[in-house]
Each structure stands twice: as C-alpha cells, then as structure tokens.
Chain A
Amino acid sequence: DTEVTQTPKHLVMGMTNKKSLKCEQHMGHRAMYWYKQKAKKPPELMFVYSYEKLSINESVPSRFSPECPNSSLLNLHLHALQPEDSALYLCASSQEPHWDISYEQYFGPGTRLTVT
C-alpha cells in the first residue's frame, strides 16, 4: 500500500483567512514533503521533514507554516495568502531520508487551493 491522503481536496480562502492543509501516511515513511504545483509546471519543493524535524525550507514565505505532529501526519498552515499562491499543493512521503539512498517518493492526491 503506497497511499498518502490529503484533506481537503479543494479549498477556497480569502486573503485574511487562516486555514490548514492536512496530509497523512501509514506506510511507516520517515520523510515527508510539501510541494506546490502551478499549472503546466513541475512540482516545486517547499518543505522537507526528516524524522519529524524540518530539514529543508526552500525559502518559502512565512505565510506558509509547516508542522509535523507525528511520523504519520503533516500539516501546512496558511495565513494571509496572496492570489498568486493559488495552486495544487501536494504532499509526498518516502521511506527514509538518508542522503545516499534515494527511496521512491509517493504523492498524495493534492489540495486545489484558490485564494480570492
């Protein structure tokens, strides 16, 4: 089973709202990722969690705040977003985050976010 789940599927929020995206995996994976994908572009890495600790932040604006409550869950808290932040937000996980072993990375279905 290589399932990563994400909620909600769709989200519309105003620029003053606060909302959260959720991601869950039960594969025992120890690395989890947030990506942002705009139309006709490849996924763009935002954050990497390795053993529940933030290991990579790709210079993402502070209006995006990640959280990893435990090894199965990953949240992305959203606050004061801009219309240009509208995109497909993807969560992914992989077995281990070792630097010299490239484990396969599995994506969830994504959350389609629209900022109005």
Chain B
Amino acid sequence: QKEVEQNSGPLSVPEGAIASLNCTYSDRGSQSFFWYRQYSGKSPELIMSIYSNGDKEDGRFTAQLNKASQYVSLLIRDSQPSDSATYLCAVPYSGAGSYQLTFGKGTKLSVIP
C-alpha cells in the first residue's frame, strides 16, 4: 500500500511569514514528487515538481526533497492571504502500464493578514 502522509492542519501563519508544509511517503522507489494547491471549490493546480534530492525554487515557493528520509516539503516565503488554500502532496507509482498519483490528505493553510 503506497501511503503519503501530511499534517491536515489547519496551519495558520501571519502575512509575510514562511509557511512550511511537510509530506512523508512510504515507497522508497518513488522518484517524482508533486505539490498541488487547491482553493476551496476549485480544482487542484500543480505548483511544484521535484525529482532530485535538494531544493528547487520557483518564485516564493521552494520544494525540498530528502529521499533517504522519504520526506518532501514545500516552503512558501513572504506568505500572502492569497496563498490560503489546501496543499496536496502527490507521489506517483506505477500500475498496469500507467502511473497513478497517491495524494496525501492535504494541509489547509490560512495566511492571516
């Protein structure tokens, strides 16, 4: 059973602070990791992909991957109220000639003005 674990939150941070979202996964063979942002009532939006150990930065977002610890995180710098959403960690695994995403339950982030 492939498992992806996230703290469900809610995680509340003040505007301008760094929000840190964490995710652990069970499959040691996993090679790719995705973060999706989902606003209430909307569909998931892919915001970060990471494939190699270390950090990957994109604007205010930084994804961090540690395969040895089976841990991936998302940092949001200078958090804005518009960042308030649920963040889903997703890890693919192969099955029947295609691959499927296993999602964590999501962490709800609230950025307080």
Binding site for B on A (CB under 8 A): 2, 31, 41-43, 45, 48, 50, 55-56, 88, 90, 97-100, 102, 104-110, 112
Contacts and interface: CB of A to CB of B under 8 A. Distances in A.
Contact of A56 (B45, B95, B104): B95
B96 interface: yes
A45 to B, nearest CB: 6
A108 B45 CA distance: 9
Nearest to A56: B96
Contacts of A42: 88, 103-106
B99 A102 contact: yes
Interface of B: 31-32, 34, 36, 41-46, 49, 88, 90, 92, 94-101, 103-106
Contacts, number: 62
Given A48-B98, A99-B99, A104-B49, A41 B105 contact: yes
A94 to B, nearest CB: 8
Contacts of A108: 43
B46 A106 contact: yes
A105 to B, nearest CB: 6
Nearest to A105: B101
Contacts of A31: 98
B32 A102 contact: yes
Contacts of B49: 104
Contacts of A99: 94-95, 97-99
Given A43-B103, A50-B98, A102 B43 contact: no
B49 to A, nearest CB: 6
A109 B32 CA distance: 24
Contacts of B104: 42
